[in-house]
Amino acid sequence: MLLIPCPWCGPRDEAEFGYGGQAHVPYPQDPAALSDREWARYLFFRDNPKGPHAERWCHSAGCRRWFNAVRNTATNEVLAVYRVGEPRPVTG
Amino acid sequence: MTAQPFRLPAGGRIRRDEPLSFRFDGIEYQGYRGDTLASALLAAGVRRTARSVKLGRPRGVFTAGSAEPNAIVQIEAPFPEPMLTATTVELYDGLVASGLPGQGRLADEPDPARYDAVHAHCDVLVVGGGPAGLAAAAAAARTGARVILADEQPEPGGSLLDTGELPDWVARTTAELAAAAETRVLSRTTVFGHYDDNHLLAVERRTNHLGAQAPSHLSRERIWRIRARRVVLATGAHERPIAFADNDRPGIMLAAAARAYLHRYAVVAGRRAVVFTTGDSAYDAALDLAAAGVDVAAVADARPRPGAAAERAARAGIEVLAGHAVIGTTGDRQLTGVTVRPLHDGEPTGPAAPIAADLLLVSGGWNPALHLFGQAGGQLRYDPGLGAFLPDGCRQAVRVAGAARGVGELPGCLADGAEAGRRAAQDEGFTAARPLPPPEASAAPEPGAPSVPLWVVPGQDNLDRAFVDLQRDVTVADLARASGAGLRSVEHLKRYTTAGTAHDQGKTSGVLTSGVAARLLGVDPAELGTTTFRPPYTPVAFAALAGRNRGVLHDPVRVTALHDRHLAHGARFENVGQWKRPWYYPRDGEDMAAAVARECRAAREGVAMMDAGTLGKIDVQGPDAGVFLDRLYTNMMSTLRVGMIRYGVMCRADGMVFDDGTVARLAEDRFLLTTTTGNAAAVLDWLEEWSQTEWPELRVHCTSVTDQWATVALVGPRSREVLAAIAPQLAVGAPDFPFMAWRDATVAGIPARVCRISFSGELAYEINVASWYATALWEALHTAGRPLGITPYGTETMHVLRAEKGYPIVGQDTDGTVTPQDLGMGWVVSKKKRDFVGKRSHSRADTSRPDRKQLVALLPPPDVLLPEGTQLIATDRLARPPVPMEGHVTSSYRSAALGRTFALALVRSGRRRIGERLYAPVGGELVPVTVADPVLYDPEGTRRDG
């Protein structure tokens, strides 16, 4: 069970959070301008790295705020958390 | 008084003033408070406790703790419980147990005990209450840090209680911990899982040891969910066996176990003992047993030059056979003899010699108990000198202390533990004014000879009886077969042979398996490694894990503000998500079909009422609320006028229907959304997600108001009369109060919002009042409608009415692969909007192909009710598989209005096939059905305004 540092509430138990998949996959500016292939890439394709991964979490049972975290998928260490709209921080 | 021939007249930690009676395998015995079932059986001279799982060989007590592979028992009374180890079951009066051949029986009666859970936080969690753990906890406690010490035994002391060493230090340190303000000592508590971020789970056995005397107000077991800043693992070490022929007979046990039975329980495990060892520690067992009167016939030491320990034994009159190994044993029901043979350069030489013995103590070295360390992500490294895996690095804030990291001598363990505890506290900013003093000076240990790992006694031909895993009956021969079959990974060997997969999880056999396999494969054990450690460390009852979350507390039950009214009306309920919703209201012995037919007639011909309060309600406010909703609904919401309502559908980005409901515009900057009952939370999450992550610039706020409002649907051609009677100020006629409008009104003296929404096709009003007034509203409607025969109706009638009109239910007629167009609801998908979530997907090749499944109605023979989920095929006889599937039934009912059964279905190219005949396989028959337009009742919509 992870201890996730919500940027608004501080460290809380993983059970309070919902997972939102890969971060920084913005909704396309103009979906109509995309080819089927490009749209499918937005809809269905996500990274699956072993190592640091920027992903979205929602503190569902707390402040209900969405935020981003960089988590090492191999060790489950949360390397950084940051607010929506902020750039992905550099992690070691 | 039953005899306890193997109990010494004095000594041990048992309470001789509390004799206890128990039964094992049908025979009555006696033991004492403080015994385990195993120690009491040994005291009584019971050697064979069970037969082995696969080969049925007799087996006896092998260890003195939770590593036990052999002595598996079923508790029969006071409450049946399978697969416990006799070595950890504390004896109580009235215990009835029997030996198990590796498989138990679950209780066939409900467990009357209670179980619960506790969350705890601490600076330093110390796991294990042996010398290192006690020292660590005391050193940390002295700094004022919050300390938890968890130990699986009934009292702290660990191996010190097995060996009888430092009793005063144990007592003093235990007392100091008990008095420390920020320290909690949890005895009978096994830490069984070590998860991320130092989250550890432990199970505390609170009343198990009291049997039928357990007070009912206490939970039997309690799960501790501990979040620790620092963890000290002082989990000790398990002695390991050696593989030789017939190394499994009752009477063969680990050397340290025999010592523990002597010191803890004043039990000698036999009269005449042979010791087989590869290191020094077994000599202490030999000397202690000899001092207690056991005839120690010989110590067979595999090392050619055993050193000082052997000299000490020799001085005590024990024959030491240096460079000898046990190559076999005799005895059918229990051990009668041991055969030893000299080894030279690792090969047997010279004649074998039989020695009569009823007890064989085995010590093949020590395996640090690194299960939790491994679970925590710790790496292990092989130490060839110790023949054991030791802790290497760990990414978590974990220290390993004492025997668990290979420290052999007691003074070293004490110092190591104290240092680990002190540093763990220090890392959290705590320091001690008075550091922990070392225990009273004991004699400096004499320099010992190093142990020499021995996995398999060489030169044996009976390797199919040389056991590696006693609980799984896995032998050296089995491992040889596996490696001969080409398996080279220890994980594969484990799965192929099942070694280490029994409920002891290979505590005594795991490293031995690696050692034997390495030898068979001709590789170093370091190369082979160990199998993966996974929780739980010891078996945990599901009841303990479930805790209080069972029965009515398994899942929350939600009821509406009108629940009492439904009970008064005799409703039968159905579960909709967590909600209890009235399903139908049977009268005078009606069955469901009759009740539903009556309720449907009332709604279509007179007036009826339904509790619609479970629909999700979300208040969306802000200057950009209209824009926001435009982006999430398929149709336009920003153009809705204040005072009006619009039906809307939401899609996921993949274009599939996610939810539907109504949107009422309460003000320029305020909308009230309804959602389906089951999706209320998901829709709110959906709104929040888009608002926060994609469009943070939109000024909009969303709030759930589901429970704040009670909603009663007043339905039927005569509903207007009822409403007019109790809302005299409200203009209820169609011209003043058109369809899909809402009005603030006073209804039965209650402030209300009345909406002209219909989910049945009939004239209908949905009356919303604050939940507090729900009962008053319901009663007023019921009273006012009584002259017109007003009829409460439930979800089943609601379903029939909506299905007659072809209204789909999201989640019943859709399944996440259905677009609005598939539902025939292209009209709800805006062509004008540049974009909305899901729009781009509607033009993908797969979503726009003409042969998608589409919602249609089916007309079976008028009296045949198709089961929901029935598949549809095109031919009147079953083709050879695979049979082409044309679709499936999503909803199916009897209709009072139509005078027949009907169904809704998703059918390939359904709308183009209206009028066609399909076939539904039902119970071996092929039922012909006719595809029809989904709107079967009042297709012109003439009934909407009454």
- For every residue of A3-27, DSSP letters joined together read EEEETTTEEEEGGG-EEEEESS-PP
And the tokens for B271? 């009269």
pLDDT value of position B444: 59
Contacts of B845 in chain A (CB under 8 A): 36
Select the residue of A2, A32, A58 nearest B196 (Cβ to Cβ): A2
Q: How far apart are CA B466 and CA B479, in angstroms?
A: 11
Whether A56 has its CB under 8 Å from any CB of chain B: the answer is: yes
Q: How far apart are CA B826 and CA B837, in angstroms?
A: 15
Interchain contact, A39 vs B835, CB within 8 Å: no
Select the residue of B196, B653, B692 nearest A76 (Cβ to Cβ): B196
Whether B693 has its CB under 8 Å from any CB of chain A: the answer is: yes
Q: How far apart are CA B462 and CA B215, in angstroms?
A: 52
Compute CA distances B19 → A66, B70, B93, whole Å: 62, 26, 8
Q: How far apart are CA B133 and CA B170, in angstroms?
A: 11
Q: What sections of B157-274 are H helices per DSSP?
A: 159-163, 167-179, 255-265
Whether A25 has its CB under 8 Å from any CB of chain B: the answer is: no
Are B870 and B888 contacting, i.e. CB atoms less than 8 angstroms apart?
Answer: yes
Q: How far apart are CA B288 and CA B795, in angstroms?
A: 77
Are B468 and B450 contacting, i.e. CB atoms less than 8 angstroms apart?
Answer: no
Q: How far apart are CA B397 and CA B402, in angstroms?
A: 17
Right CATH for A3-28+37-83 from 3.90.1150.10, 3.90.470.20, 3.10.20.30, 3.30.2270.10: 3.30.2270.10
Tell me the percentage of chain A whose pLDDT exceeds 70.
99
Neighbouring-strand partners of residue B474: B469
Interchain contact, B694 vs A27, CB within 8 Å: yes
pLDDT value of position B433: 84
Are A84 and A58 contacting, i.e. CB atoms less than 8 angstroms apart?
Answer: no
Q: How far apart are CA B46 and CA B61, in angstroms?
A: 9
Are B656 and B628 contacting, i.e. CB atoms less than 8 angstroms apart?
Answer: no
- Closest residue in A to B702 (Cα) is A64
Residue A50 Cα, gap to closest chain B Cα (Å): 16
Q: What sections of B114-223 are H helices per DSSP?
A: 131-141, 159-163, 167-179
Are A15 and A1 contacting, i.e. CB atoms less than 8 angstroms apart?
Answer: yes
Is omega for the bond preceding B536 within 30 degrees of 0, making it cis?
Answer: yes
Q: How far apart are CA B774 and CA B793, in angstroms?
A: 16
Contacts of B195 in chain A (CB under 8 A): 1
And the tokens for B281? 């520690």
Residue from B692, B834, B847 whose CB has the most chain A CBs within 10 Å, to mutate: B692
Residue from A66, A79, A81, A82 whose CB has the most chain B CBs within 10 Å, to mutate: A66
**Type of residue found at B406:** G
Interchain contact, A43 vs B199, CB within 8 Å: no
Question: Whole-angstrom distance between the N-terminal and C-terminal Cα of chain A?
Answer: 23
3-state secondary structure of B397: coil
- Closest residue in B to A55 (Cα) is B693
Q: How many CB atoms lie within 10 A of CB B35?
A: 31
Q: How many beta-carbon pairs under 8 angstroms link A with B?
A: 62
**Helix B308-315 crosses helix B281-291 at what angle (to 10 degrees)?**
10
Are A72 and A53 contacting, i.e. CB atoms less than 8 angstroms apart?
Answer: yes
Residue B195 Cα, gap to closest chain A Cα (Å): 6
Interchain contact, A1 vs B197, CB within 8 Å: yes
Question: Whole-angstrom distance between the N-terminal and C-terminal Cα of chain B?
Answer: 90
Residues 6+ apart with CB under 8 A from B938: B761, B805
Contacts of A38 in chain B (CB under 8 A): none
Residue from B196, B394, B690, B844 whose CB has the most chain A CBs within 10 Å, to mutate: B196
Interchain contact, B835 vs A26, CB within 8 Å: no
Are B260 and B286 contacting, i.e. CB atoms less than 8 angstroms apart?
Answer: no
Whether B692 has its CB under 8 Å from any CB of chain A: the answer is: yes
Interchain contact, B845 vs A36, CB within 8 Å: yes
Interchain contact, A1 vs B195, CB within 8 Å: yes
Residue A55 Cα, gap to closest chain B Cα (Å): 12
> Backbone phi, then psi, for B299, in 5-degree steps?
-110, 115
Q: What is the dihedral of CA B618, B619, B622, B624, to 10 degrees?
A: 40
- Closest residue in A to B652 (Cα) is A43
Compute CA distances B565 → B67, B611, B749, B778, whole Å: 58, 10, 20, 8
Are B70 and B471 contacting, i.e. CB atoms less than 8 angstroms apart?
Answer: yes
Which bin fits B718, alpha (ψ -120 to 50), beta or left (φ > 0)?
alpha
- Closest residue in A to B226 (Cα) is A1
Q: How far apart are CA B197 and CA B213, in angstroms?
A: 39
Cα B214 → chain centroid = 26
Contacts of A85 in chain B (CB under 8 A): 696
Select the residue of A34, A36, A66 nearest B692 (Cβ to Cβ): A66
Residue A32 Cα, gap to closest chain B Cα (Å): 6
In terms of Cβ atoms closer than 10 Å to its own Cβ (0-12, 13-18, 19+), residue B671 is buried
Interchain contact, B685 vs A56, CB within 8 Å: no
Whether B839 has its CB under 8 Å from any CB of chain A: the answer is: yes
User: Where do we find the tokens 């309690």?
Assistant: B222
Whether A43 has its CB under 8 Å from any CB of chain B: the answer is: yes
Cα B353 → chain centroid = 53
- pTM for the full model? 0.92
Whether B554 has its CB under 8 Å from any CB of chain A: the answer is: no
Whether A21 has its CB under 8 Å from any CB of chain B: the answer is: no
And the tokens for B692? 């926060």
Interchain contact, B693 vs A3, CB within 8 Å: no
Interchain contact, B840 vs A18, CB within 8 Å: no
Residue B845 Cα, gap to closest chain A Cα (Å): 8
Interchain contact, B685 vs A18, CB within 8 Å: yes
Whether A61 has its CB under 8 Å from any CB of chain B: the answer is: no
Which parts of chain B have pLDDT scores under 70? Answer: 1-2, 440-447
Contacts of B229 in chain A (CB under 8 A): none
3-state secondary structure of B338: strand
User: What percentage of chain A's residues is helix, strand, coil (to nearest 5)?
Assistant: 15, 35, 50
Interchain contact, A30 vs B835, CB within 8 Å: yes
And the tokens for B913? 């096939």
Instruction: For B378-406, give one letter per residue: b (16+ CB within 10 A) or e.
Output: bebebbeebbbbbbeebebbbbbbbbbbb
Closest CA to A59 of A46, A48, A68: A68
Provide the residue count of chain B. 946
Compute CA distances B616 → B402, B597, B675, B676, whole Å: 58, 28, 5, 6
Question: DSSP labels for B712-733?
Answer: EEEESTTHHHHHHHH-TTS--S
Helical (H) or strand (E) element with B425: helix B410-427
Whether B381 has its CB under 8 Å from any CB of chain A: the answer is: no
Q: How many CB atoms lie within 10 A of CB B30?
A: 19
Q: How far apart are CA B477 and CA B520, in angstroms?
A: 10
Residue A78 Cα, gap to closest chain B Cα (Å): 10
pLDDT value of position B812: 96
pLDDT value of position B742: 98
Residue A37 Cα, gap to closest chain B Cα (Å): 9
Contacts of B692 in chain A (CB under 8 A): 65-66, 84
Interchain contact, B197 vs A3, CB within 8 Å: yes
Residue from A36, A56, A59 whose CB has the most chain B CBs within 10 Å, to mutate: A36
Residues 6+ apart with CB under 8 A from B447: B307, B308
Select the residue of B395, B834, B841 nearest A77 (Cβ to Cβ): B395
Select the residue of B654, B837, B840 nearest A34 (Cβ to Cβ): B840
Whether B845 has its CB under 8 Å from any CB of chain A: the answer is: yes
Three-class SS of B10-38: CCCCCEEEEEEEEEECCEEEEEEECCEHH
And the tokens for B591? 């069955």
Select the residue of A14, A26, A31 nearest B839 (Cβ to Cβ): A31
Considering Cα of B77, then B78, then B79, then B82, what sign does the dihedral take? Answer: negative
Whether A85 has its CB under 8 Å from any CB of chain B: the answer is: yes
Query: Looking at this predicted complex, what is its ipTM?
Result: 0.97
